[in-house]
Amino acid sequence: MPISHVVATALAAFLASAVEFVEAATVVLAVGGVRGWRDTLVGAAAAVGVLAALTAVLGPALTLIPLHALQVIVGALLLLFGLRWLRKAILRAAGVLAKHDETAAYAKEREAMLELGARGAGFDAVAFGAAFQICMIEGTEVVFIVIAVSAGGAGLLLPASAGAAVALVIVAALGFALHRPMAQVPENTLKFIVGVILSGFGAFWLGEGMGVAWPGEDLAILGLIAGFGAIALASVPACRARGLRAAGARA
């Protein structure tokens, strides 16, 4: 397996997971701050346990599927995932869509927890449930990303898992240290980069599964990432101008 694949896989898993973990951490911090930390953290840990077990089972199970079929299925899913993130990141960078606001999400979740009233003395099912749900939802995306970016070649599950695990440790450590949402994380920039990388991976694996002879063979993945990156960057000013024209026409 070329080192470029290993590094790109670990990087894609790290960046994509970091974005998802930051979103989950915002809710966990809001719930824990209002309802108390014990049951909130137990809920979050339970979700992480379920997701880790899911990855451990699903990852190796994918090796039972013929490689070309797996590359087509995973490549198509990765491509759809990557293009969706990239489109949204382009539109956010162009000012057409509002950027995700962690501070606002934190305030909204805190408000929702406060409206539920005081917690009882025993097990707090609300705190457990809220933390479990958000960690399962965001974590499912992480599991998909880890499995998908590593499904195209043998030996990639470990670097992908390591990338996600490092992201989890960093985001959790920052959450414990700051005790407030990580609003300074350049989420849209991360999503832009991840969208570019995943689109490149998706197109590459898909082509491999389809029997396409890529120019440069394995190095084509770097060309695809560079190509999607260049196209996406060039799209931002064009979308900004189109958005301004549309706004002007409505005014």
Partner 1 sequence: MGWIAGVAKEIWGLFVDDIGLAVASLVWVAIVWIAARWLGAAAGPALFAGLAVILVTSALRRAGQG
* Interface with partner 1 (CB under 8 A): 76-77, 79-81, 83-84, 86-88, 90-91, 94, 96, 129, 132-133, 136-137, 140-141, 144, 199, 203, 206-207, 210-215, 220, 224, 227-228, 231-232, 235, 238-240, 242-243, 245-247, 250
Nearer to partner 1 (CB atom), residue 41 or residue 93: 93
Distance in Å from the first CA to the final CA of the chain: 56
Distance in angstroms (rounded) separating the CA atoms of residues 247 and 239: 12
Q: Which residues contact 111 (CB under 8 A, 6 or more apart)?
A: none
Distance in angstroms (rounded) separating the CA atoms of residues 201 and 224: 8
Shortest distance (Å) from residue 234 CB to partner 1 = 8
Shortest distance (Å) from residue 113 CB to partner 1 = 16
DSSP 148-187: HHHTTSTT-HHHHHHHHHHHHHHHHHHHHHH-S--TTS-H
3-state SS, residue 1: coil
Nearer to partner 1 (CB atom), residue 146 or residue 203: 203
Shortest distance (Å) from residue 167 CB to partner 1 = 17
Distance in angstroms (rounded) separating the CA atoms of residues 99 and 189: 10
Shortest distance (Å) from residue 56 CB to partner 1 = 18
Amino acid in the structure at residue 167: A
Nearer to partner 1 (CB atom), residue 33 or residue 129: 129
Nearer to partner 1 (CB atom), residue 180 or residue 240: 240
Nearer to partner 1 (CB atom), residue 185 or residue 236: 236
Distance in angstroms (rounded) separating the CA atoms of residues 233 and 220: 20
Shortest distance (Å) from residue 110 CB to partner 1 = 20
